[in-house]
A and B are shown apart, each in its own frame.
Chain A
Amino acid sequence: MIRDFSLIWQSADRLLDGLINTVLLSLVGAVLALALGALLAIPLMASNPVLRLVSRGFVDLMRCVPFLMLTYLVYYGLPRLGLRFDNWTAGLVAIVVYNTAYMAEIIRGIWSRLERETIEAAVAFGFHGWRLVSRIILPQIVLAAGPMIGNQLIQIIKDTAFLTIIAVPELTHAANSIQAQYFIPFATFITAVLLYWALCMLVEVGVYAVERIAEKRR
């Protein structure tokens, strides 16, 4: 067993590369999904029924598609329509598109429970449009949604593991290739699991920090 872990140690650079890719995909994916989700929440909350129906349709569709299927579709399916991405970009696109729907739904849920009065007060003071959203609505949503957005971040980190099937060189892919070379499945996969766990703990720390900011305002 010690020998197994020393083999892993020798392959540390490959695991590190994988870890970096996982972090990058999760981070860039989450930031984009959150930003697009915030934008998508606007039509979800719109009074115009057409806007609401179309955006609702997208969200519900995404929530019913297995992530693996979406990944296949982006990587293997879209080139048929003339849209060709490299593995890494295809993985990122899948993560962003999929999680935008979830983020939008989280934001919509919190938004609809915000006190209408504080928004109306802002309108009475001359706020409107994007400034109303960015100065008054979004900050309140972020503070209320911290834990839920944190959960979704953890979901994103775990979803990046699926990208191994389109050969994105992320952590699971790296672990798999080390395992295949040395036949040391336990040591490799437990190391990868611990690395995933460490990433998720970082997210938890972030959520805790947001919660402390929110707590002062409650």
Chain B
Amino acid sequence: MTDTASESRDAPVLAPVLEISGLTKTFDDKVVLDGVSLTVARGQTVCLLGPSGSGKSTLLRCVNWLEKPDQGTVLLCGERIGMRPGGVVPMGNAELAKLRMRMGTVFQHFNLWPHLTVLQNIIEAPVHVQKRRREEVIAEAEALLENVGLADKRDAFPSRLSGGQKQRVGIARALAMKPELLLFDEPTSALDPELVGEVVAVMKSLSQAGSTMLVVTHEMGFARETADKVVLMDGGRVVEEGGPEEFFGNPRTERARQFLQRYVSA
């Protein structure tokens, strides 16, 4: 097809799903993002590392415009988020929603909807936002629950689940959107240590299955084994970016060496 031909001419081997460039964000004089640029290609898993307060989570929140950046652009599959073409007029909620429903977000504190059962949590947005057929979505949701090992919790309420189970439901809920991009905001940070493994295992299998993922995490093991690219942030800037072998084995910057010393040995 001519489409593919022109794409392969313009773009590198893999078309970027997410392109962030020159993002800045200031909260009351405190610079949280200071000109961050980052690209996630289709099928890639990119891990965002950095000490707390380095701007990782804010960056993630700017991607789906939960936080409005002061400057810079975010493109999802080439479409600008937050601003209408031209970059002057901000998007309304309905326009933003159209882009947001193409991403799936997994939150640190799960943020499941407490009034809905596990299954209802998963089908809620596909049915009521994406307007897909209910029966079809339920069948997919049941398959997703099977994949994350929670088929028997289908009709339970979130309050009855362990943290690890909640997070696996959170992942299934994000996947049910059939998202072009999965965003993970410290998905294991709120979990008891013995529950981290079950969530990391699900994320690994997603990454291997070719999902496009941007993951803010402190799980160095996950980043080393799964990431296609590791990005270290500090003070609102990207300080180092590279493949995991290179980043963990032979970091280029002093800051990365310090960070790894503190986090990997701990």
Contacts and interface: CB of A to CB of B under 8 A. Distances in A.
B130 interface: yes
A123 B94 contact: no
B114 A217 contact: yes
A193 B140 CA distance: 56
B128 A118 contact: no
B128 A127 contact: yes
Nearest to A217: B157
Contacts of B177: 125
Interface string B88-129: 000001101110110111010101111100000000110011
Contact of B130 (A126, A129, A139, A140): A126
Interface in B169-217: 173, 177
Q: Is the interface of A mostly helix, strand, loop or mixed?
A: helix
A127 B115 contact: no
Interface in A120-160: 120-129, 131, 135-136, 139-140, 143
A3 interface: no
B107 A121 contact: yes
A139 B105 CA distance: 22
A127 B113 CA distance: 13
Contacts of B173: 125
A126 B125 contact: yes
Interface residues of A, number: 22
Given A118-B114, A124-B64, A131 B129 contact: yes
A95 B97 CA distance: 39
B111 A118 contact: yes
Nearest to B104: A125
A114 to B, nearest CB: 10
B77 interface: no
Nearest to B108: A117
Contacts of A129: 93-94
A44 to B, nearest CB: 19
Nearest to B64: A124
A124 B100 contact: yes
A143 B114 CA distance: 10
A139 B116 CA distance: 9
A126 B111 contact: no
A36 to B, nearest CB: 23
A216 interface: yes
B128 to A, nearest CB: 6
Interface of A: 115, 117-118, 120-129, 131, 135-136, 139-140, 143, 216-218
Q: Which 7 interchain pairs have the tightest Cβ spacing?
A: A126-B101, A121-B111, A125-B125, A128-B93, A126-B129, A126-B97, A117-B111
Given A117-B109, A217-B158, 10 more contacts: A118-B114, A120-B111, A122-B113, A124-B64, A126-B97, A127-B125, A127-B128, A135-B128, A140-B113, A216-B157
